[in-house]
C-alpha cells in the first residue's frame, strides 16, 4: 500500500454497551466527509443487528459500512483514495486486525476504531487492549448504570432475566434484550472463579 499520505494515526473509542461508541465513530466519519476526505467504514459480518451494510447507533444515526468476515478482507477492499478508515465493533475481529490497523496507519491513513474494551465478564476484549496501547488518541465513554444511575463502564449480559454465567459464550450478538450498562459495583458475573473487581 502506498497512498502518498504521511500523517496517519489511530483513534480508539471504547466503553460499555449504550455508551455511544458507534455514535462517536459515525460523528467522526461524517465530519471527515464534510472535510472532503474519502472515507470507508468496515464492520464484522457477524454484527447484523441493524442491517448488514450499516453502522448504526442506538439513537438511530447511521453510516454505510462494508461487512467483512475477517481482518484480511479489509485491505483488498480499500480504495486508493481512502484517507479515513472506520472500524466498528473492533472487539469481534480476529487478532490480525492489529497488523491491518498498523499497516493502514503506516500508509498515512487516519484509522478510527470503536468497540467494547471489556467483555460481559469485565475482562479485556479481544484485540482492543493492544489497539488502545498503539493509539494516538483514546476516548473511554460511559453509559448510565440501569441499577443505580451512576456512570457505567461494564456490560451486563442478561439471560432469562438474570446475569449470564462466567462460562457462557463470550460473543453473543444482541442489544437491549440481552445487555445492560452497569457500574463496577452493580456488575455481577456468577460462577467467576476469582473475584476480579
Q: Which domains, and CATH codes, for the chain?
A: 9-141 (3.40.50.300)
* pLDDT attached to residue 58: 63
- Encode pLDDT of 15-33 as tens digits: 999 999 999 999 999 999 9
* pLDDT attached to residue 169: 83
Question: Could you confirm whether 81 is annotated as catalytic?
Answer: no
Residue of 11, 23, 24, 89 marked active site? 89
* pLDDT attached to residue 81: 97
C-alpha cell read off for 115:
468497540
C-alpha cell read off for 102:
498498523
C-alpha cell read off for 112:
478510527
pLDDT 10s digit of each residue in the chain, 197 long? 444 445 799 999 999 999 999 999 999 999 999 999 999 999 999 876 555 676 777 666 778 899 999 999 999 999 999 999 999 999 999 999 999 999 999 999 999 999 999 999 999 999 999 999 999 999 999 999 999 999 999 999 998 888 999 998 888 766 667 899 999 999 999 988 754 54
15: nearest Cα among 123, 88, 147, 114: 114
* pLDDT attached to residue 50: 54
Answer yes or no: are the C-beta atoms of 130 and 124 closer than 8 Å. Answer: no
Residues whose CB is less than 8 angstroms from the CB of residue 51 and which lie 6 or more positions away in sequence, other chains included: none
* pLDDT attached to residue 63: 86
* pLDDT attached to residue 4: 47
* pLDDT attached to residue 193: 73
Q: Which H or E element spans position 47?
A: none
CA 4 to chain CA mean position, Å: 28
Amino acid at each position: 500500500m502506498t497512498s502518498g499520505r504521511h500523517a496517519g494515526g489511530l483513534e480508539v473509542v471504547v466503553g460499555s454497551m449504550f455508551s455511544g461508541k458507534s455514535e462517536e465513530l459515525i460523528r467522526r466519519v461524517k465530519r471527515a466527509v464534510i472535510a472532503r476526505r474519502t472515507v470507508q467504514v468496515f464492520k464484522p459480518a457477524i454484527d447484523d443487528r441493524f442491517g448488514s451494510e450499516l453502522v448504526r447507533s442506538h439513537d438511530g444515526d447511521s453510516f454505510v459500512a462494508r461487512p467483512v468476515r475477517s481482518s484480511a478482507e479489509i485491505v483488498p477492499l480499500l480504495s486508493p483514495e481512502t484517507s479515513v478508515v472506520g472500524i466498528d465493533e473492533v472487539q469481534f475481529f480476529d487478532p490480525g486486525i492489529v497488523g491491518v490497523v498498523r499497516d493502514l496507519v503506516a500508509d498515512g491513513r487516519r484509522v478510527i476504531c470503536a468497540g467494547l474494551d471489556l467483555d460481559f465478564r469485565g475482562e479485556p476484549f479481544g484485540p482492543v487492549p493492544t489497539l488502545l496501547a498503539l493509539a494516538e488518541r483514546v476516548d473511554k465513554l460511559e453509559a448510565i448504570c440501569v441499577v443505580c444511575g451512576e456512570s457505567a463502564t461494564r456490560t451486563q449480559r442478561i439471560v432469562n432475566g438474570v446475569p449470564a454465567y462466567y462460562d457462557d459464550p463470550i460473543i453473543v450478538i444482541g442489544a437491549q434484550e440481552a445487555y445492560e450498562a452497569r457500574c463496577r459495583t452493580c456488575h455481577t458475573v456468577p460462577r467467576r472463579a476469582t473475584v476480579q473487581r
